[in-house]
Amino acid sequence: MFRFSRRAIFAALALSACSAVFSQASYPDKPIRLVVPYPPGGFTDILGRQLATQLQTRLGQNVIVDNKGGGGSTIGSAMVARAPADGYTLLLVAPDLAINESLMATRLSYDARKDFSPVIRAAWSPMVLVTHPSVPAKNVSEFLALAKARPGKINFASGGIGTGAHLALELFKTRAGVDLTHVPYKGNGPATSDLLGGQVSAMFLQYAVAKPHVAGGKLVMLATPSGKRSQAIPEVPTIAESGLPGFDVEPWFGIVAPAGTPAVIVNRLNAEISKIMQQNDVKDTLASVGAAPSISTPQEFGKFIDSEISRWAEVVKASGAKAD
């Protein structure tokens, strides 16, 4: 039977602690994986690849974007929640992270509050209410009048159950008192394709995705659900000023890591991403699709996520939205 002296045990513990400190100090010494829990093609993909490219330069290691779409972002999120808390697996998050806590409470294999370490809120990006050109409505008022005249007959797409666009729709239906049929897809890509083809009539879509289709006359942009007009599209009215005062849905995007990731690594990532988001070329790229930087500390982002979880829980309860 082996016996260890108290001195040997303390020495082993000290060696382990020194090893951990050295590992954190040398971070990163291997490639980093940035999981984007959505299919390619949306604003999350644009932002994720922009961050990966810039981080790769700043950190001196490859940063690999890994699109893991499906389940309203839950598949990719669950993967990161189970990953080692060493800073080598990161997750790009959006309002879906907060929404799913109430919409899919019985299904989630992770807890947004407990299983992730907030790193930074990085950007805002407006959505727009768009319709297929065949829809006889030129503004929100006309669209609502049409919806009231045809209850349940207008198909309204989203990139999936639990997405920000889905809950924006539920809030819209509740506030306006209209019956719109929700048609969820596995990502914004197929939803947008069917909207362009006229298989569905309307959708809340990221402006970054909608912009070329609107310019080409393939979609009609009625309004933005943000609380104030976007600087990128100042001519487009808000839903709030179009008959639903107080309506305010503006998607946010940020980075989290598995819970327990060392603070020194979280702070390093926060500092580097903060600098990236303040670069003129990055701000110009964001502005071209109507987005803007929104920088926070890890602590501020954690409080923000908590407030969003509470906010969307109220919307889910009031609307009766279900994950099925």
Asked whether residue 18 carries a pLDDT value surpassing 60, the answer given is no
Residue 192: what pLDDT?
Answer: 94
Rounded distance, CA 310 to CA 106, Å? Answer: 17
Instruction: Write out pLDDT tens, residues 132-167.
Output: 999 999 999 999 999 999 999 999 999 888 788 899
DSSP-assigned beta bridge partners for residue 91: 35, 256
- The answer to whether residues 221 and 214 touch, using CB atoms and an 8 Å cutoff, is yes
Residue 110 and residue 198 in contact, taking contact as beta carbons nearer than 8 Å: no
70 or 299, higher pLDDT = 299
Angstrom CA distances, 6 to 9, 186, 222, 249, stand at 5, 57, 72, 59
pTM of the model: 0.81
Query: Residue 296 and residue 118: Cα distance in Å, rounded?
Result: 10
Q: Is 80 exceeded by the pLDDT of residue 287?
A: yes
Amino acid 209: pLDDT: 87
Residue 181 makes CB contacts below 8 A (sequence gap 6+) with: 152, 153, 154, 155, 156
Task: Provide, rounded to the nearest whole percent, the portion of the chain with pLDDT above 70.
Answer: 92
Q: What is the pLDDT of residue 215?
A: 95
Is a pLDDT exceeding 80 seen at residue 1? no
Longest dimension (CA), the chain: 84
- Give the C-alpha separation, 172 to 50, whole Å: 32
pLDDT of residue 109 exceeding 70, the answer is yes
The predicted-structure confidence for 222-267, as pLDDT tens digits, reads as follows: 999 998 888 888 999 999 999 899 999 988 999 999 999 999 999 9
What average pLDDT does this structure show over 283-306? 93
CB proximity list for 324: less than 8 A, separation 6 or greater? 161
